[in-house]
Amino acid sequence: MNSHDRSMIGAFIYDIHQIMTKSSNISFEYIPREGNSLAHSLAEETSKRKDEIYLIGGVPEYAEHLKDRDKEDGMD
């Protein structure tokens, strides 16, 4: 990555790059949006609400059904 990312997510990208340089056992896997509707919904709702959420012990009520669906889809 040659250019400096100045977006809000840039700090996370920087941290990931730092971890990658220190670990030889790291991998990334692309998961389509349809395969992870819970993460997509949480990101979308958080962006709309301009709010921060912390997922400690569960998910917000509006996303419960997606958690169950993603869990079922993962069992295929």
Report CA 29 to chain centroid distance, whole Å: 12
Q: What does the pLDDT average to over 14-26?
A: 87
- For residue 14, the one-letter residue type is Y
Domain borders along the chain are 10-73
Q: Is the dihedral of CA 49, 5, 37, 64 positive or negative?
A: negative
25: region left, alpha or beta (phi > 0 left; psi from -120 to 50 alpha): beta
Residues 22-49 as b/e (b if ≥16 CB within 10 A, e otherwise) read eeeeeeeeeeeeeebbbebbbeeeeeee
Tens digits of residue pLDDT in 41-76: 888 888 888 877 777 888 888 788 787 777 766 655
pTM for this one? 0.46
